[in-house]
Copies of this chain bind each other. A is one copy, B any other.
Amino acid sequence: MTLQSLFDCQWPIIQAPMAGAQNHRLAAAVCNAGGLGSLPCAMLDASGLRAELAALKAKTAQPFNLNFFCHTPAAAEPQQEDAWRSSLAPYYRELGIDPASISAGAGRQPFSDELARVVEEYRPAVVSFHFGLPGAELLARVKACGAKVLSSATTVEEALWLEAQGVDAIIAQGLEAGGHRGHFLDLDISRQLGTFALLPQIVQAVRVPVIAAGGIADASGVRAAMALGAAGVQVGTAYLCCPEATTSAVHRAALTSPEARHTALTNLFSGRPARSIVNRLIRELGPISSMAPGFPLATAAVAPLRSTAESLGSGDFSPLWAGQNASGCRNIPAADLTRELASGCAR
């Protein structure tokens, strides 16, 4: 089964969902160029999702992918939140932020009954999940409305688990990938593999199509992934500098600078390891802090630092999500990038 027939699109090129850096505009541009555009839904409530879907459908009649997180939100622990804010206190002082003004809050919501109702209403061609899969009842509802279901595996064990749950295809997320690691069976980061090792081992282990993610930036990367047995690719970082993305100016500047060569897995911005370009906060607190509350609770206390710094033109406190290969980042239309990537699909 090819991805093209599974998704009913022209190319086996998935634009990776990137919450905070894109909306329906990027997704529509990719869909209209023959790829599978993705709408990141983790930071949308039901009404926000409906608005994005209406805008997306106004721009494209092609199939698209809705991406949801399906984590179990960490319980709020006031002592840990206090410790976290204490470790950020010098920065609040430096930027003139009143810590009492900072609201707590989750920032990202897991897939839910309410969001499933929107899926049932809009019947997307594809739904992808990150951090495993939702509960059986929610998953059955997604499948019942005809959506093909994808999720990310970061180990062979996770791929086997996803296949057993009945996913239609598996995203092999190599360690090079930007943004949040999708691991869900084992939180030990040392188990995470590079794409060159992960992809062929998952291809050998499962029967469903495998989509390569992590380090793919151009047509030669697509060719290499196909050579390793991928049925298609999911590309994120290279789309971040397209005009249709909502990537911030500081983020775009970092992606196209030599700084982009140094990324790290960090839990500082959300509470879960995610790959970001190393900036001041990561350098000074270290990429992984035991002070950070669990996912997604770490977000709230950093948010005002980020917005204040960005208003001053600084990315010192921003999650500068990026994979290890930002060499594909250019200010070119997403349709052009999609067609360039697709040129790597010819065998």
Q: Which residues in A have some Cβ–Cβ distance to B below 8 Å?
A: 155-157, 174-176, 190-191, 193-198, 200-201, 204, 214-218, 220-221, 223-225, 227-229, 261-265, 278, 287, 323-325, 327
Contact partner, A228, options B193, B224, B324, Cβ 8 Å: B224
A191 near B262 with CB under 8 A, answer yes
Q: Give Cα A229–Cα B325 distance, bound, in whole angstroms.
A: 14
Closest B residue, CB atoms, query A218: B200
Contacting residues, chain B, for A223 (C-beta < 8 A): 224, 227
Decide yes or no: A287 and B190 within 8 Å by CB, A224-B224, A228-B224, A261-B155 being known contacts.
Answer: yes
Q: Give Cα A20–Cα B175 distance, bound, in whole angstroms.
A: 29
Shortest A322–chain B CB gap in Å is: 10
Shortest A191–chain B CB gap in Å is: 6
Shortest A330–chain B CB gap in Å is: 13
B214 near A194 with CB under 8 A, answer yes
22 CB < 8 A contacts A-B: A156-B261, A157-B261, A174-B194, A175-B175, A176-B196, A190-B263, A191-B262, A194-B194, A194-B196, A194-B214, A194-B324, A195-B195, A195-B215, A196-B196, A196-B215, A200-B217, A200-B218, A201-B327, A220-B228, A220-B229, A221-B228, A224-B224
Shortest A85–chain B CB gap in Å is: 26
Contacting residues, chain B, for A215 (C-beta < 8 A): 194-197
Q: Give Cα A221–Cα B203 distance, bound, in whole angstroms.
A: 13
Contacting residues, chain B, for A190 (C-beta < 8 A): 262-265, 278, 287
Contacting residues, chain B, for A191 (C-beta < 8 A): 262
Closest B residue, CB atoms, query A214: B196
Contacting residues, chain B, for A221 (C-beta < 8 A): 196, 200, 228
Shortest A70–chain B CB gap in Å is: 24
Shortest A216–chain B CB gap in Å is: 7
Shortest A327–chain B CB gap in Å is: 6
Q: Give Cα A221–Cα B204 distance, bound, in whole angstroms.
A: 13
Shortest A332–chain B CB gap in Å is: 17
Closest B residue, CB atoms, query A264: B190
B227 near A220 with CB under 8 A, answer yes
Contact partner, A227, options B214, B227, B325, Cβ 8 Å: B227
Contact partner, A194, options B195, B220, B225, B227, Cβ 8 Å: B195
Contacting residues, chain B, for A200 (C-beta < 8 A): 217-218, 220-221, 325, 327
Shortest A51–chain B CB gap in Å is: 36
> Which of A155, A214, A216, A327 has the most chain B CB within a 10 Å cutoff?
A327
List the 3 shortest-distance A-B pairs measured between CB atoms, nearest first.
A196-B215, A194-B194, A197-B324
Shortest A121–chain B CB gap in Å is: 38
Closest B residue, CB atoms, query A327: B201
B194 near A175 with CB under 8 A, answer yes
